Structure 1
Amino acid sequence: MEKKVLLFGGTSEGRELTRFGLPMIYSAATEYGAELARGAENTEIVVGRMDAREMKKFIDESHVACVIDATHPYAAGASENIRAACAACSVPLMRVLRRASEARRASLLVKSAAEAAEHIEKTSGNVLLTTGSKELAAFARVSDRSRLFVRVLPDPDVIKKCAELGFDSGHIIAMQGPFSAAMNEEMLRMTGARWLVTKDGGAAGGTGAKMDAAEKCGVSVIMIERPREEDGHSCAEALLWARRQLGLPRPPLFPMLTDLEGRSAVIAGGGAVAARRAATLIRCGAEVTVVSPEFCRELEELKCGLVRRKWEEADLDGASLAVAATDDREVNSEIGAAAKRRGIPVSVADNAAACSFFFPSLVTCGEASASVSAGALSPALTRRLAERLRSVWEEWVKEERSAVEGEKDKKNE
């Protein structure tokens, strides 16, 4: 029976991962979350909350090869259950987690909805709550609920919950997002809000649009911090990982060739990987600068600039191409993100999914070159193919060059 990915979704990340047709079971806690994946190719949808025991039973019975947790950043309980179930089943797990993005712009950071409600109790002025329905019980304890306006999904059960907690219809905004900054502005003005309460849902959760609207309207923002958890991965990383777990192919990479002669390339890192990248770029005519506190012997023997210190974003100034090859995954990720912001092509040595271009195995003879890649699915296959091609490439190029020259001579006779 065909092995499948079990994806716990209900988020925009979950929906993104269903786009590529991998054999998948998409698990959503609610019907609304399931709607995000309706119509996805090769995807079975299951709806309903499961505890760790139920998850383990489902995994055991469903021929699951691996699990992706793409639940909401604040769904800490669900993630704990997923981790426990996967550990019990010895099934590989990857956590997909959107980046936190807007906490620095908040007027006040709190650790829970209850703490946010306690602060509201000490203030005056209307409040727009955009934290969803799960935390409403904490805000229902605010003595003057006429100050509170709640924005929730237009789901009958959610509306019923609002009413049971004492929120009347005049203080409920039942709408489905996404919400633009302009829409958020209008709601802040309509409610006369002096406070906005939100979570840091990142760009996918519309947090930036909320913050922009609050700034424009002069509204203070109370942000509930994320639960502390391990670092997560991007959708691109999860997609590549799932294909490896399932042994599935992917479309071949497009081998875009570009002229690097005389152009600046910057490499962060001083080890063997950085040396190999530098040697390849130098062979292609690039002017290479390597930044690292220390350098291996191979780098010191190359004709490139060596800057002996830690990487700084300013090192990207004037670069046409960048390579992140330090021994620190977090630093490599920061370099990749910084280069992408500037529109600079970047290769991240320890994370193929974070690359905007893939560093190929290059096979050359004079100006004739070929690049070899297995789509980041199998470095070993890439290496073997490149070695085999190198064993014949020089001979092939010489033979074909002679043939071309011979044809020119015949035309000139």
Structure 2
Amino acid sequence: MRILILGGTSDGRALAELLQPAGPRPGSADRALSVVSSLAGRVRSPRLPPGEVRIGGFGGVAGLVAYLRGEAVTHVVDATHPFAAGMTANAAAACAETGVPLTILRRPGWTAQPGDRWHRVASLAEAAEVLPGLGERVFLTTGRQDLAAFAELDLWFLVRSVDPPDPPVPRRMRSILARGPFTVDGETALLREHAVDVLVTKDSGGADTAAKLTAARALGVPVVMVDRPALPPGVPVVATPEEAVAGL
């Protein structure tokens, strides 16, 4: 088996760890295999998974097809971010063309709890449309490459990302660089310090960045939640790295 993990997430790193040839252990896979993790290279200092790693794009569907054939890849696991819709679509198309089995690893999205004031939207553009009616001081956690949708709004933004934001950016903005996991106490203090009255986030799921939702609930801060893009039809989907290993 030659397994390609399309990674860049904590789940991708966990899957690579489970598949490393370090001897049998509970939850580990058959050792007659090799694994390579592929990262897009959009973060300057990514957390690297164990084992073989490649960084950079493939060059669209044609480039991925060539890679799968050239590397004799037998299985692909798409463990990219839930909003990496382009890479997921390319993986589905390339695997369909080559006949290589594809599994999508997607952690469950977040679920609203009693006391939450969520406003679900289908896109960043829709998030920008509803924001002026919800607050004036925005905590924006959608990522450094997604600020263009909010650049023309006359609101104040606190933007958090791993690397500095890419222009265009909002005119009134403070940028902070940080990487999760975050704590509820820390997120609560951050919202209070900056008098945040509305939070915008993508429905990424997972525990690393969920503390902001707990803090917003406690403080009564409304949340604009951007829904995930649809997945390609007919592709098996698992929720955990362990389920991915079992499928492989």
Category of TM-score, reference length = shorter chain = 0.7 to 0.9
- Please point out which of 65, 78, 81 is paired with 2:87: 78
1:232 partnered with 2:237: yes
In 2, are the aligned partners of 1:18 and 1:37 still within 8 Å (CA)?
A: no
1:117 partnered with 2:115: no
Gap regions ≥5 residues in structure 2:
22-33
In 2, are the aligned partners of 1:76 and 1:227 still within 8 Å (CA)?
A: yes
Q: How does 1:287-298 map to 2 (within 5 A)?
A: none
What is the TM-score with the length of structure 1 in the denominator?
0.52
Q: CA RMSD in A?
A: 2.1
In 2, are the aligned partners of 1:98 and 1:232 still within 8 Å (CA)?
A: no
Name the structure 2 match of 1:175. Answer: 178
Whole-Å separation in 1 of the counterparts to 2:6 and 2:105: 10
Name the structure 2 match of 1:92. Answer: 101
Deviation at 1:67, TM superposition (A): 0.4
Which amino acid in 2 is paired with 1:65? Answer: T
- Please point out which of 20, 40, 54 is paired with 1:46: 54
Q: How does 1:56-205 map to 2 (within 5 A)?
A: 56-103=65-112, 105-142=116-153, 144-145=154-155, 147-153=156-162, 155=163, 158-159=164-165, 161-162=166-167, 164-166=168-170, 171-205=174-208
1:16 partnered with 2:14: yes
In 2, are the aligned partners of 1:67 and 1:91 still within 8 Å (CA)?
A: yes
Name the structure 2 match of 1:298. Answer: none
Deviation at 1:34, TM superposition (A): 7.6
Evaluate the alpha carbon distance shift between residue 205 and residue 76 of structure 1 in structure 2; reply closer, same or farther with a 3 A threshold. farther
Name the structure 2 match of 1:222. Answer: 224
Deviation at 1:106, TM superposition (A): 4.5
**1:98-135 superposed Cα distances (whole Å, 9 cap, x missing partner):** 01222464421111111111111334420100111232
Q: Whose helix proportion is higher, 1 or 2?
A: 1
Count of aligned pairs between the two proteins: 228
Deviation at 1:79, TM superposition (A): 0.5
In 1, are the aligned partners of 2:117 and 2:217 still within 8 Å (CA)?
A: no
Name the structure 2 match of 1:382. Answer: none
Whole-Å separation in 2 of the counterparts to 1:16 and 1:215: 30
**1:253-272 superposed Cα distances (whole Å, 9 cap, x missing partner):** xxxxxxxxxxxxxxxxxxxx
In 2, are the aligned partners of 1:31 and 1:47 still within 8 Å (CA)?
A: no
Evaluate the alpha carbon distance shift between residue 224 and residue 167 of structure 1 in structure 2; reply closer, same or farther with a 3 A threshold. same
Evaluate the alpha carbon distance shift between residue 123 and residue 49 of structure 1 in structure 2; reply closer, same or farther with a 3 A threshold. same
Whole-Å separation in 2 of the counterparts to 1:182 and 1:150: 19
Name the structure 1 match of 2:247. Answer: 241
Which amino acid in 2 is paired with 1:102? Answer: T
- Give the SS at the match of 2:182: coil
Name the structure 2 match of 1:389. Answer: none
What is the TM-score with the length of structure 2 in the denominator?
0.84
- Give the SS at the match of 1:64: coil
Deviation at 1:81, TM superposition (A): 0.5
Gap regions ≥5 residues in structure 1:
243-413
Q: Which has the larger radius of gyration?
A: 1
- Please point out which of 209, 212, 223 is paired with 1:210: 212
Deviation at 1:232, TM superposition (A): 2.0
- Give the SS at the match of 1:100: coil
Evaluate the alpha carbon distance shift between residue 180 and residue 167 of structure 1 in structure 2; reply closer, same or farther with a 3 A threshold. farther
In 1, are the aligned partners of 2:152 and 2:171 still within 8 Å (CA)?
A: no
Which amino acid in 2 is paired with 1:210? Answer: K
**1:68-97 superposed Cα distances (whole Å, 9 cap, x missing partner):** 000111111110000001111110111111
Deviation at 1:192, TM superposition (A): 0.8
**1:22-80 superposed Cα distances (whole Å, 9 cap, x missing partner):** 52110010264883334x1xx21111123211111111111211100001111111100
In 2, are the aligned partners of 1:132 and 1:152 still within 8 Å (CA)?
A: yes
In 2, are the aligned partners of 1:103 and 1:200 still within 8 Å (CA)?
A: no
In 2, are the aligned partners of 1:98 and 1:204 still within 8 Å (CA)?
A: no
